[in-house]
């Protein structure tokens, strides 16, 4: 089995009763700044504050009663963890979320508020710690990206984009491990083959740029970035082939451009999204993706889990 438009459609049917069909907004106030017609798919307005609920639900709705009875474990930079915690509560089970110590406070707080147990560790050891906890408890792992059910779930946002804006010319999405971009690019290219689709990733962690150049997944050196939701140093082994086949490219983006995008989105577009979610806007501001004034470009805003105190970085 691999991720196809059929598995993504099936996922959409499965999760639709639980998710928000988030709005696709036309933000004309940003056109002059970005040099194209700006649209956003506002997954920052998704339940739990991020697109991650799509994948987590698609995975967890297929678990057996017995599996659910033993709880779930997830390694996450925050947004996947909140989604898994939400699903665990909804489905009457328990969740342990393993997070990097560098995750913003607001993300830790939101997960604890859903009743999940949070374990903090170094970003590099989060999968190892999660696997140990899973084994100890006989629980089920809900992977953040490297899983076909997860990828199919994230791809459902692509079905909605094409339905909500059929004349879209380009889609730009953040990328980390590649669960979102893998699913999204598969869905968009199946439904609208002429639409171009790009990923944007931190220049400090260019795992997809490097891997696409190499032709296979490579691990990049870990450098600090303000993109706290985009911390993978290696593409997911199942995600990479989907991205390689369907995306038109992935571009590295400087933190400063990402923050410029976040500020424009907030003050001119009136939409709050977290720094990582604005990296696609940053890619166009940086000139890394060629656009033109008549082109309809839809930016997927991956999440909105940002605290008031974090807005000071925009000043």
Distance of CA 299 to the CA centre of its chain: 12
Identified binder of a copy of itself from the candidate list 15, 27, 187, 281, rule CB under 8 A: 27
Nearer residue to a copy of itself within complex by CB, 224 or 311:
311
Residue 261 makes contact with a copy of itself by CB under 8 A? no
> Binding marks (x or -) toward a copy of itself, 30..59, rule CB under 8 A?
------------x-xx-x-x----------
- Which residues on adjacent β-strands are paired with residue 298? 39, 171
For residues 170 and 146, give the distance between their C-alpha atoms in angstroms, rounded to a whole number: 25
Nearer residue to a copy of itself within complex by CB, 4 or 164:
164
Do residues 249 and 280 make contact, with C-beta atoms less than 8 angstroms apart? no
CB of 311 to a copy of itself, least distance (A): 6
Identified binder of a copy of itself from the candidate list 172, 273, 278, 285, rule CB under 8 A: 273
Q: Verify whether residue 59 is a known catalytic residue.
A: no
Q: How far is CA 306 from CA 240, 275, 278, in A?
A: 28, 8, 12
User: Given strand 72-75, what is the order of strands in its sheet?
Assistant: 117-121, 95-100, 72-75, 140-141
Residue 9 makes contact with a copy of itself by CB under 8 A? no
Identified binder of a copy of itself from the candidate list 2, 6, 20, 256, rule CB under 8 A: 20
How is residue 28 written in tokens?
Answer: 């004309």
**Residue among 77, 176, 211, 232 flagged as catalytic:** 77
State the virtual CA torsion across 289, 293, 294, 297 in degrees, nearest 10.
40
Q: 293 to 312, contacts with a copy of itself by CB under 8 A?
A: 304, 306-309, 311
CB of 254 to a copy of itself, least distance (A): 21
For residues 146 and 55, give the distance between their C-alpha atoms in angstroms, rounded to a whole number: 11
Terminal-residue alpha carbon distance, the chain: 48
Residue 28 makes contact with a copy of itself by CB under 8 A? yes
Q: Verify whether residue 167 is a known catalytic residue.
A: no
- Which residues on adjacent β-strands are paired with residue 296? 37
CB of 42 to a copy of itself, least distance (A): 7
For residues 253 and 279, give the distance between their C-alpha atoms in angstroms, rounded to a whole number: 7
Would you name the residues annotated as active-site residues?
52, 77
List contacts with a copy of itself (CB under 8 A): 20, 23, 25-29, 42, 44-45, 47, 49, 263, 266-267, 269-273, 304, 306-309, 311, 314-315
């Amino acid at each position: 089995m691999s991720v196809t438009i059929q598995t993504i459609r099936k996922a959409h049917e499965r999760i639709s009763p639980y998710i928000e069909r988030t709005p696709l907004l036309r933000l004309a106030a940003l056109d002059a700044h970005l040099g194209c017609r700006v649209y956003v798919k506002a997954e920052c307005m998704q339940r739990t504050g991020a697109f991650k609920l799509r994948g987590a639900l698609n995975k967890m709705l297929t678990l057996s009663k017995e599996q659910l009875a033993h709880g779930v474990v997830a390694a996450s930079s925050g947004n996947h963890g909140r989604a898994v915690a939400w699903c665990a509560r909804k489905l009457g089970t328990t969740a342990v979320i393993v997070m990097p110590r560098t995750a913003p406070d607001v993300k830790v707080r939101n997960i604890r508020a859903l009743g999940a147990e949070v374990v903090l560790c170094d970003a590099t050891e989060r999968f190892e710690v999660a696997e140990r906890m899973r084994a100890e408890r006989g629980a089920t792992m809900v992977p953040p990206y490297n899983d076909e059910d997860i990828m199919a779930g994230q791809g459902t946002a692509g079905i909605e984009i094409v339905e909500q804006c059929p004349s879209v010319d380009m889609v730009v999405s953040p990328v980390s491990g590649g669960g979102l971009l893998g699913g999204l690019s598969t869905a968009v290219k199946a439904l609208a083959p002429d639409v171009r689709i790009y990923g944007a990733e931190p220049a400090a962690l260019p795992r997809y740029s490097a891997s696409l150049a190499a032709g296979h997944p490579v691990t990049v050196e870990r450098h600090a970035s303000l993109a706290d939701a985009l911390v993978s140093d290696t593409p997911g082994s199942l995600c990479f082939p989907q991205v390689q086949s369907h995306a038109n490219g992935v571009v590295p983006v400087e933190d400063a451009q990402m923050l410029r995008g976040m500020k424009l989105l907030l003050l001119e577009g009136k939409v709050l999204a977290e720094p990582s979610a604005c990296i696609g806007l940053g890619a166009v501001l940086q000139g890394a993706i060629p656009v033109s004034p008549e082109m309809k470009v839809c930016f997927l805003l991956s999440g909105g889990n940002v605290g008031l105190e974090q807005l000071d970085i925009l000043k």
